[in-house]
Amino acid sequence: MLGLTRLIYHWTAGTHKASDLDKQHYHFIIEGDGTVVPGVYKPEDNASTKDGKYAAHTLNCNAGSIGVSLACMAGALEVPFTSGKYPMTKAQWDAGVKLGAELCKRYRIEVTPQTVLSHAEVQGTLRIKQRGKWDYTRLSWAPDVRGATNCGNLLRNLIKKELET
> Residue 23: its pLDDT value, please?
98
> Residue 61: its pLDDT value, please?
97
Q: Are 18 and 71 in contact (CB under 8 A)?
A: yes
> Residue 1: its pLDDT value, please?
47
Other C-beta atoms lying within 10 Å of the C-beta of residue 40: 15
Tens of each residue's pLDDT in the chain, 165 residues: 468 999 999 999 999 999 999 999 999 999 999 999 999 999 999 999 999 999 999 999 999 999 999 999 999 999 999 999 999 999 999 999 999 999 999 999 999 999 999 999 999 999 999 998 999 999 999 999 999 999 999 999 999 999 998
- Give dist(CA 105, CA 83) in Å, integer: 32
Other C-beta atoms lying within 10 Å of the C-beta of residue 19: 14
The answer, yes or no, to whether the previous bond of 9 is cis (omega within 30 of 0) is no
Write out the DSSP string of 24-68.
HH-SEEE-TTS-EEE-SS-GGGGS--TTS-S---STT--TTEEEE
Write out the DSSP string of 99-137.
HHHHHHHHHT---STTTEEEHHHIIIII----SS--TTS
> Residue 2: its pLDDT value, please?
62
